[in-house]
Chain A
Amino acid sequence: MRQLTRDQLLKDAARYGGAAFAAAAGGSALAHVAEAAPTAAEWKPSGTISVWQHQSKPFIDYFQKISDTYQAQTGVQVQNLYIPYADFETKVLTSYSSGTGPDLVKLGGWLFQYYASKGLFGEVNSRSFGRPSPQALQKYKFAKGTLDYFTYKNRYYGVPDDINNLMLFYRKDDFEQAGLDPDKPPTTWSQVVAYGKKLTKFSGGKMTRAGFQWWWPSIPIWDYLQLLPLIEDQGGRLISSDGKKSQLASKEGIYALDFYADIARRYNIGSPSLTHPRNNYGLMANGQASMIVNASFVGGVINALSGGKVAVGKNVGVAMMPRFTKKQKPISSGYLWGWGVNKQSKNAATAWHFLNFVLSQKHANTMLAASGIVMPVKHFEKLPAAVGNPLVAPMMKLMADELPYTSYGPRLNGFNQMIQMLSDTMQSVVQGKASSTDAAKNFDAQMTQVLRT
């Protein structure tokens, strides 16, 4: 059997995408997702635009190609700056505060409310996309609800470029070895626990393979993404709908906290002490975790980390996020990255025009093939690179299925502070430093001040 490597994966993906594109050039493969060219008759793009983002190498390589093409077609100078993620938010923040922010920046969607509320981002120029209004733009160009996510006080301040929602990844080979049906993944959390007990392995009293593993060591945004569906699955909310009250100490919140911690504490099917530099998907690639919840981007990474031995569509299955009961509607959590245009930009119209060029079906297809990044363009799941590549197709279908049930959680100015405090709260329960009730009450008390800002 041919061994898959990361390079091979990307080549395969490009081939599937490329083949489809060749057909598209003849007018077939992309026909169902075809779009009209933007009608930007009122102005002509010109000048220079500065673009800041953080991304992985395959994405950067392809984005640079898109920029070069745009530059060749329009004469606009696109100055790209790629910044490592660890420094990214700080650099963007300080540049904007000193009035030297770039024309275009790609930020986590959760930060848009803050930037919009401080008057740092300009409103979406739908004319640059050839649409009369943002509402029309949402309907015409983007997957349902993804542009709407970038609103603040009913106005649009950004456009989506990267979507991920949480799903269950499981090792089919581990399932088989444990006597479980690899084609019937767990649909409820109680099944996850039951299956996890069969899948977990120990040696010398230490866990060597987690039946189910959270994202440990914890990272605030991932702690938040994991806890949110556990709360909302029960009908609860982390923050009240009016955004004024923290509700972690509710029945649903405390139950969710307990369940999160009980994976290690009570059921012993996962462990914070089982770590890998690439988190729980590194463990899955290594054979040290049989089930994880994570986002679609890890599909390609697992493949690459394992040298092609472990891959979605091969020996890794994907399934919807488990629920507490089957009666409940499906639930997942997710996040979007999006583009904002500096309100002070002297070349805002060109910046929006460039975004229209970037966020096309064609680029979405090739970007998916080249880097695994999913641009939430309309019918992204039907792009040739999504349906033609068996390593990607299951995740794309699942993402599309989950999309109507995906929660992006509360949008607050103090979002970063909230997720940091939530992460501290969750880990204090896991570490046995506080009971879930006390920790949740403490979180709610601390959030009172955050919600005032």
Chain B
Amino acid sequence: MVFTLPAAVYFAVFWIYPLMLSGYYSFTNYDLFQSPQWVGFQNYRDLFADTTFQNSLRVTAWFAIGSIIPTIVLSLVLALPLSQRRASSVVFRALFFVPLVMPLVAAALLWQAIYTTDGLANTMLGWVGISRVDWLTSSQVALWALIIMVVWKHLGLYLILFVAGIQTIPHTVYEAAALDGARAFRTFFLVTLPLLRRTLLFVVVIAIVGAMQAFVPAFILTRGGPANATQLLPLYLYSNAFSFTRMGYASAIAVLLFIGLVMLSWVQFRVFRRGGEA
């Protein structure tokens, strides 16, 4: 009991207290400087009538779907050959990991240069005869520009996690599958994937939480524009809190985001645990 006390105190001070305070502020009108004024559910009522918030929810959902699925699929596909114990695998794994260790702000600034009119992205498209794309200034394209950057940034992390997961699968299982005549495709879906369930659960959970909390790419590259096309929920929350000093309103967004993430994580655990422990 005594040994758990530091952890309990830490958890209470840095998790429970801020969470409860945020919950309280969400029912108040609070601007950081004057005492919070109780307004009941007004912030929540305003949120559900707020078209920018609704747009932000849609944008965040598309961003999550658009970034999580390709990142996980790509990293899984790449993890299969790169989990082989070869020198070249180590080199490639390290190369894929480089973007991850790069500070996110630096990466975003790099991609800002890549996406300019005469930047690398358009130059490369020009090589294959595709005309210039308005990466950050078209409301149809800007979100996809952010997604490409995020996929590039996170691919290395998921790749390493999948490689680690694949390397823990005993070789005997693959030998048994081979003796039964299973080919690569069937082996992947019937052996590798089920045995990677725990890794996959972990990756999906952190990917969704990461996507729902994504802030820096939109903050640096687009500031939520053009015309709110990349107004991710955390960015909208930040703007309300620190640009507009609407702490109560921002807290209501935070509470809804928290509830949404808890529910999503719960669903994921239910889905991945169905069929017993891996």
Instruction: Give residues in A with beta carbon < 8 Å to B.
Output: 86, 89-90, 93-94, 96-97, 114, 118-120, 204-206, 216-220, 272-277, 288, 414, 416-417, 420, 423-424, 427-428, 430-431, 433, 442, 449
Contact = CB atoms under 8 A, between A and B. Distances in A.
A275 B225 CA distance: 14
A431 B31 contact: no
| Of listed B116, B117, B131, B222, residue having the most chain A CB within 10 A | B117
Chain B contact residues: helix, strand, loop or mixed? loop
Contacts of A428: 227-228
Contact of A204 (B34, B46, B131): B131
B28 to A, nearest CB: 14
B224 to A, nearest CB: 8
A427 B113 CA distance: 22
Size bin of chain B's contact surface: 20 to 34
A94 B31 CA distance: 11
B166 to A, nearest CB: 40
A217 B222 contact: yes
A450 to B, nearest CB: 8
A219 B137 CA distance: 12
A-B pairs with lowest CB-CB distance, top 5: A273-B134, A97-B32, A427-B227, A428-B227, A272-B137
Nearest to A217: B137
A417 B220 CA distance: 19
B254 to A, nearest CB: 16
Nearest to B46: A449
A218 B225 contact: yes
B245 interface: yes
B52 A216 contact: no
Contacts of B17: none
A205 B116 CA distance: 18
21 contacts: A86-B219, A86-B220, A93-B245, A97-B33, A118-B34, A217-B136, A272-B134, A272-B137, A272-B226, A273-B134, A275-B134, A276-B116, A414-B244, A420-B243, A423-B225, A424-B52, A424-B225, A430-B226, A431-B138, A431-B227, A433-B139
Contacts of B33: 96-97, 118-120
A206 B132 contact: yes
B85 to A, nearest CB: 43
A277 B131 contact: no
Contacts of A218: 225-226
B226 to A, nearest CB: 4
B132 A216 contact: no
A105 B275 CA distance: 61
A273 B132 contact: yes
Most buried by A among B32, B137, B219, B246: B137
Interface string B23-36: 00000000111100
A275 B118 CA distance: 8
B227 A93 contact: no
Contacts of A96: 33
A431 B223 contact: no
Contacts of A220: 223
A434 B1 CA distance: 61
